[in-house]
Structure 1
């Protein structure tokens, strides 16, 4: 069993993900090797909430140019976690 903090890398903060928080949907960058069960257990342990559903997507890294050279950003995995109706919300903007 891996450490839950190794599964969840960071939250994704975009306009669309902030709007989804009203529906108790939270978006995270997760480890590429993690599966839905590991993500669910990690979110429940780290934030102390009840997870109803986990949707995952493998995101391809963008191609970037620096002059004549072409490189590629790393591929990554995104997880959208939906909480149950009776669960408390996740607060990761306490200091703002």
Structure 2
């Protein structure tokens, strides 16, 4: 699925893994129900809740032209207890 771009691994998202929360960057047009359905189907887990936000745009300068980097939406997905995404498992 092209809507989920990649998982986010930062210091904060690694701390969120202890609370069973996983962070993904997704397409800006994606909705919470679409992402929930896709995550549950692809990883065979139960999603408890989803929080989303759109980070502010960053400017990029190339010579005299000032442009903007691509926009994305960040989703923080909380799974029900007993479930985990194998992409992040310690085993």
TM-score range, shorter chain: 0.7 to 0.9
Contact 1:8 1:43 survives alignment (8 Å): no
Q: Name 2:16's counterpart in structure 1.
A: 20
Question: Shift in Å at residue 75 of structure 1?
Answer: 1.4
Question: Shift in Å at residue 67 of structure 1?
Answer: 4.3
Deviations for 1:4-54, whole angstroms, at most 9, x for unmatched residues?
A: x22211101111101100100000011211111111111111111100000
Q: Name 2:62's counterpart in structure 1.
A: 66
Q: How many residues align?
A: 89
Question: What is the TM-score when the length of structure 2 is the normalising length?
Answer: 0.85
RMSD of equivalent CA atoms: 1.6
Question: What is the TM-score when the length of structure 1 is the normalising length?
Answer: 0.82
Alignment gaps of 5+ in structure 2: none
Residues 11-50 of structure 1 mapped to structure 2, 5 A cutoff: 11-50=7-46
